[in-house]
Structure 1
């Protein structure tokens, strides 16, 4: 019986029910530590994100401006310098803090919903299938927080020209005023369907892949243990940093690859000019136009660089968040 208990503990994913902790303290930790982790991750990934959005938003009716990620990097640095790749980062920093804290907050709420449903008793660890669900739950709710922030970010990263004049980089406030003037409050949620699909599906993969990889490492480490005492110790200790990094990296790569087409359509919608005679396309209209023009390949434009930058970014997000939760509990 004792051996079975140790095996079950060693196979635990990292999101365990925490006893003796108030919901208020857990929520504060999710918000503060999630914000810190999100900001760290955003500084790492932002130049790659700028290139990704520029690749995604190239117009259908003109020859492609960039031949690929490296060419986009080269042209962007030549035109604006390296710091130009950080254009508009103020809104994304706020967005990263809001997104990551919301994800961890709603993921914990999702676990509470599963426990409240009677699916498992509170003293049991959620199986991986339930953790994939709580990831989708977190992403679905977070998408409504994220869409307005990403809309402002995309319009700053890919400024549009008017009357043939060279495009000028807009400020955060000028974008907000412009959207509100022409489209009202509803305009800030333009592209919501794309964000919803990307976040709900992608976050199921984000949390699910991380927990699956974490469980795999726990099982491997347990098998390498030579004594019962060592197994007991491994059950309560955090994974080695390199294993935490691999688990976090696998999460980011899964998130970005599986639902990248939804993100491409969303970026095209959110970089479209505001106002004028042009009417906003729906998510499905934009997707159909892209398919007719470029086929499946068009939906994955910029995918390689996005998956590449997501590995270190996501690794740091989980390492920072899990480290703060473990070593600085409130």
Structure 2
């Protein structure tokens, strides 16, 4: 048994390492890491999309209400009620096929580019090699990941938004649009460039939002680890804690906090983008810029209009973001590719 002085000595323990941070990869494993990011990110994204999609439909319908007409929906609950009355519950899943593809592309791209960002930070001496990356660096690599992913997301979200918001003619709701006809009509009226209508809004939302997404998740995870270790009864228990993932409920809270930060901080950019992308197909968008649409919305409804639909969006992000990180981290840990 150790003497009293010896018991007070603290043996060296491994440094605190965030759950998604790893040292520089060996060339042999880099390809497999990339395949894991793409495959597991896709699976996690699809799971999250099924959870959040009805809330996303309501959010887009609230955001896209014309500024020259009386508001059709009084709020999220009223939008849910009217939507279910008009189309049934399945109507809230209208157009989900394209977003499922988009969710797979988005999340695989996010996790892939975030890892590339971490490797680049080490390569260019922006972070120490073979040590945990600082939280500030993880916020930056998240922003880099979001910026790269925005170019994939804009076309997918353009199609999604046009399907989610029913078109009307003389007060009569038209038949729901389908992905292939929407894609064909966008190309016919606006060409290839038309698929990136609203790109600036997506870029702002994704770069800022994904910095907050990854950064918040890692920040909360680190806080939980420190809290858990403060109650440890021995150094051996601390070593074990650092080698294992944090408890499942803490993973869920960390993932949920990431989703809330992502959606709230840059929500006005998403609102402006949704308004731009729900312009009826065939209507000229040449003069519809991010700044002009933002100015029109501000003039009509001020800051409140910029955050129209924010509550339902933050609410939907709690379970979906929690599940995305939990599924991704579990697959990376328990189903490694050989």
User: What TM-score does the superposition give when structure 2 sets the normalisation length?
Assistant: 0.94
In structure 1, the residue matched to 2:50 is 43
In structure 2, the residue matched to 1:73 is 80
Aligned partner of 1:119 among 119, 126, 129: 126
In structure 2, the residue matched to 1:217 is 224
Alpha-carbon shift at residue 304 of structure 1 (Å)? 0.3
Alpha-carbon shift at residue 48 of structure 1 (Å)? 0.2
* 8 Å contact kept, 2:109–2:145: yes
Q: Secondary structure at the match of 1:60?
A: coil
In structure 2, the residue matched to 1:140 is 147
Q: Does 1:17 align with 2:22?
A: yes
CA distance in 1, matches of 2:157, 2:63: 14
Alpha-carbon shift at residue 278 of structure 1 (Å)? 6.2
In structure 2, the residue matched to 1:274 is 281
Q: Does 1:176 align with 2:183?
A: yes
Structure 2 gap segments, 5+ residues each = 1-8
* 8 Å contact kept, 1:33–1:325: yes
Structure 1 gap segments, 5+ residues each = none
In structure 1, the residue matched to 2:316 is 309
CA distance in 1, matches of 2:283, 2:326: 46
Aligned partner of 1:242 among 240, 249, 256: 249
What is the number of residues matched between the two proteins?
327
Q: Secondary structure at the match of 2:177?
A: coil
User: What TM-score does the superposition give when structure 1 sets the normalisation length?
Assistant: 0.96
Q: Secondary structure at the match of 2:78?
A: helix
In structure 1, the residue matched to 2:4 is none
* 8 Å contact kept, 2:11–2:235: no
Q: Secondary structure at the match of 1:50?
A: helix
Alpha-carbon shift at residue 119 of structure 1 (Å)? 2.5
- Alpha-carbon RMSD across the aligned residues, in angstroms, is 1.5
With 89-98 and 111-120 compared, the bigger mean Cα shift is at 111-120
* 8 Å contact kept, 1:17–1:122: no
Alpha-carbon shift at residue 17 of structure 1 (Å)? 1.5
* 8 Å contact kept, 1:246–1:315: yes
* 8 Å contact kept, 1:161–1:168: no
CA distance in 1, matches of 2:44, 2:239: 30
CA deviations on 1:109-135 (whole Å, 9 max, x unpaired) are 000110011133431110100000000
